[in-house]
Amino acid sequence: MRKITLFALAAALSMSVSAQDFITKALNDDGEPTFDWSKASGFVPILVSESVSEVLNADLKMDMRPNDTNVHLWVWSETYVGCDDNGGMNSFGELEDHFAMTVSNKGWSGLGIIKDGDTDFSFIDDTYVLHFGIKGHPVQSQAIGLGSIAFALGETAIYSGDPPVLVKNIGTWPDDGEWYYVDLPIKDLKKLGNELFSSTQGGATAYHDNFFWLLSGGTQGNEVHLDNVFLYKDSTLQPSLQKGDVNRDGSVNVSDVTALINMILGSIQKDEEVADVNEDTQVNVSDVTALINIILGSNA
């Protein structure tokens, strides 16, 4: 089994979004899903049911569903086993299975989904949202990771890394046996870490580590119930520009220096909105210096 790379998150990190902003009841009183499909497009399915797959396939941006060919779900050293409670109605009101696992007797747990080779995820900008359904007992917290950033949901502390570090908890769901949607904007997820896709693992354009991963603590019998995990582009969100992101790929690195120099030389069209790094209303070599300082961390 492939070992999952875990990213430690300090407890001091803060997040401005409230749990009530992104955790909502999945089904209304009539048993109908409350998810608003009208604002969603550009789907990236991860763990989805057959009926939801049909919807997502109509506007597929990238397929991250495990397929045993080039996208794999790896359980870390058999730390999860199948859960018997894997039937009934899922978070979209369909009689379909959901993702249900139980922590085994190893004293820890972890699983991840990874795609073979280098993968370009640079299209995942601040207009994207991570969606999934969750239910069960929130006293059993879950730590969920997308790329290089993790967050926890539930009522108890959960740790990752070696040595273990507390994962930032951003909320919980009611302990009533019902499904709840989590719709977490990427722009809010980024507040928990420096990079969504760590440069040490190839960055956003050539990422080669776990795309989606999960920890459920080390207590044997802890259950995880997730349903219809996917990313979608939200038409109500606007992309935000990161200072120094000259090529607009979501990261600030040496490729932005190359793009800026090419703009100054006239090799490519000048993008005034991002090229004027030092904000002096001119685009010239001083912007290159300012950009290099940003990359080196001397002028954040």
Q: Judge if 80 and 203 occupy the same domain.
A: yes
Q: Judge if 159 and 40 occupy the same domain.
A: yes
Q: Is-contact 277 287, C-beta < 8 A?
A: yes
Domain of 292, in residue numbers? 254-296
Q: Judge if 161 and 192 occupy the same domain.
A: yes
Kindly tell me if the per-residue pLDDT of 15 is higher than 60.
Answer: no
The reported pLDDT for the residue numbered 59 is: 98
Structural domains of the chain, count: 2
Q: How many CB atoms lie within 10 A of CB 281?
A: 7
Q: Which of 272, 299, 276, 298 is nearest to 287 (CA)?
A: 276
For residue 10, tell me if it sits in a domain: no
Kindly tell me if the per-residue pLDDT of 44 is higher than 50.
Answer: yes
Q: Is-contact 175 138, C-beta < 8 A?
A: yes
Residues 274-285 pLDDT 10s? 888 988 889 999
Q: Judge if 230 and 262 occupy the same domain.
A: no
Q: Judge if 84 and 171 occupy the same domain.
A: yes
pTM, whole model, 2 decimals? Answer: 0.78
Residues 76-101 pLDDT 10s? 999 999 887 656 899 999 999 899 99
Q: Judge if 105 and 27 occupy the same domain.
A: yes
- What is the token pair recorded at 296? 């080196």
Pairing between strand 23-25 and 149-153?
Answer: unpaired
- Cα angle 150, 248, 117 (rounded to 5 degrees) comes to 55
For residue 79, tell me if it sits in a domain: yes
Q: What is the CATH number of the domain that holds 147?
A: 2.60.120.430
Q: Judge if 113 and 261 occupy the same domain.
A: no
Q: Give the end of a domain, one of 205, 234, 263.
A: 234
Q: Judge if 82 and 176 occupy the same domain.
A: yes
The neighbouring-strand residues paired with 227 are 133
Q: Judge if 166 and 281 occupy the same domain.
A: no
Q: Judge if 186 and 39 occupy the same domain.
A: yes
